Amino acid sequence: MTQSLTRELTRFAPHAGAHRPALRCVISVAVPMLVLLAIGRTDLVGAAAFGAFTAIYGRDLTVPARTKVQALTGAGLVASVGIGVLAAHLPGAPWLALAVVVAVAAVGSLAGEMVGWKPGGPLFFVFAAGAFASIPALSTGAALQVVATTAAAAAFSVAVGSAGAALRTHVRGHRPLVSTGAREALARGTVTEVVVACLLTAPLAVVLGTEHQYWALVAAIVPLTVSGTTARLARAVLRIAGTVAGLGVAAVLLGPELPVWAVVLIVIVLQAGAELFVLRHYAVALLFITPMPLLVSHLMSAEPAPALIVDRLLATTIGVAVALLVLAVRGNASAIAGLLRRRPAPTPTPAPAPSRPSSGT
């Protein structure tokens, strides 16, 4: 177990053509952000970023399979943003809003298990819903602009992902959009793990004073999106290590008061780096992933950099700790079930021999 975990932590996967999906993601992120920068609407940069997350999905698929998956996940991201915007209006903050985000996690996890999209799980849907559920309630006009921007960025990402169909040499691939039913998806147990992890993480994040509770939910989900006990443990360790290192990068980037255009360009570069390394080594990818939400948060709400860094570390630690607890309980339950299945059946007691009839009369 220890050797397998060490190999998983230190393994650096081959490049495997990562520049192609990275280029699609960069175009999908850069164009909407640069357009918003040009028209002076940097307040919508976050919405555009969440819509552009559509490009992350289906990286290993070919058209039209990628188009189907990205259209579905893009619609899910738009819906998640809209749900988050509505949740921000709920009373009793942050409890009801967090309950809505947990519901998004449950639905996103079930849909992900049924479709089999990659990256797996409800990670980006929780991120999108949580981000907008945690900000002050928007007016109707502002809310519509946020949802419309997200939808436009998602649609653009689908168009970029489908552009390969115009090439004569492009290999067309087909796959069913839904690969399994809801009952089979629930039987695998991942949906239950995600929901339990979120239900445990949400109150802990509030009680321990994190300002961005959804960051803790995201961190709790991350180790559960991969298969196998060793891979999950490795993902938890890499999440902590990569986040700590990534926060060092964020501190350097957030130190100087950069102009808005510089922050946007840095976010685009970070997205490229994340896509180039996310399947090669997760901790290295976090050097690029971790600073992105901090830069966008600082850009949109002018939150102090030190507070963002501390809150990110606290939220990640809470989420990963809960994920490890869920994995430990699930592992012990599976071990006990396995022992019960292997327990030999009791030896039946032999029936008594029938008595011989008497020969007398």
Tokens 């102090």 appear where? 304
Q: Give 338-348 pLDDT, tens digit per residue.
A: 656 666 556 56
pLDDT digit string, tens, across residues 20-76: 999 999 999 999 999 999 999 999 999 999 999 999 999 989 889 999 999 999 999
What is the rounded CA–CA span in Å between residue 276 and residue 60?
13
Q: Looking at residue 253, what is its pLDDT? A: 96
pLDDT at 278 over 70: yes
Which pair of structure tokens corresponds to residue 206?
Answer: 């509030």
- Taking alpha carbons only, the member of 301, 295, 289 closest to residue 254 is 295
| Burial annotation 135-171 (CB, 10 A radius, 16+ → b, else e) | eeebeeeebebbbebbbbbbbbbbebbbebeeeeeee
Say if 174 falls within a structural domain.
no
Tell whether the model's pLDDT for residue 359 goes beyond 50.
no
Structural domain contains residue 201? yes
- Report the chain's terminal Cα–Cα distance, integer Å: 76
pLDDT band at 303, cuts 50/70/90?
A: confident
Looking at residue 333, its pLDDT comes to 66
219: which residues sit within 8 A by CB, 6+ positions away?
201, 239, 243, 315, 316, 317, 318, 319, 320, 323
Q: How far apart are CA 158 and CA 69, in angstroms?
A: 9
| In-domain check, residue 355 | no
356 domain residue, yes or no: no
Residue 117 in this model has a pLDDT that exceeds 80: yes
| Mean pLDDT (whole number) for 218-231 | 94
Give tens-digit pLDDT for 119-157. Answer: 999 999 999 999 999 999 999 999 999 999 999 999 999
pLDDT band at 360 (very low <50, low <70, confident <90, very high): very low
| Closest C-alpha among 332, 310, 104, 78 to residue 202 | 104
Q: What are the tokens at 200? A: 């445990």
**Where is pLDDT greater, at 302 or 250?**
250
% of the chain with per-residue pLDDT over 70: 88
Contact indicator for 77, 154 with CB cutoff of 8 Å: yes
Neighbours of 271 (CB within 10 A): 25
Classify residue 62: in a domain, yes or no.
yes
Count of structural domains, the chain = 1
pLDDT score at 340: 64
**Tokens 């699930």 sit on residue:** 330
pLDDT digits (tens, 9 = 90+) for 176-213: 788 888 889 888 899 999 999 999 999 999 999 999 99
In a domain, 160, yes or no: yes
pLDDT confidence band for 335 (50 / 70 / 90): low
pLDDT of residue 169: 46
- The values of phi and psi at residue 353, to 5°, are -70, 140
- 241 C-beta neighbours (distance < 10 Å), count: 14
In a domain, 288, yes or no: yes
Percent pLDDT > 90 in the chain is 76
Higher-confidence position of 342 and 261: 261
Residues in the chain: 361
Q: Quote the pLDDT of residue 358.
A: 45
Q: Work out the pLDDT band at 353, boundaries 50, 70, 90.
A: low
Q: What pLDDT, on the 0 to 100 scale, is given for residue 181?
A: 86
Domain membership of residue 273 (yes or no) is yes
* Predicted structure pTM score: 0.90
DSSP letter (8 states) at residue 304: -
List all residues 6 or more positions away from 233 whose beta carbon is below 8 Å from its beta carbon.
5, 8, 223, 324, 327
What residue numbers bound the domain in which 278 lies? 2-8+17-164+180-335
The amino acid at residue 108 is: G
- Neighbour count for residue 302 (Cβ, 10 Å): 7
Mean pLDDT, rounded, for 81-108: 96
Compute CA distances 6 → 230, 235, 280, whole Å: 9, 12, 15
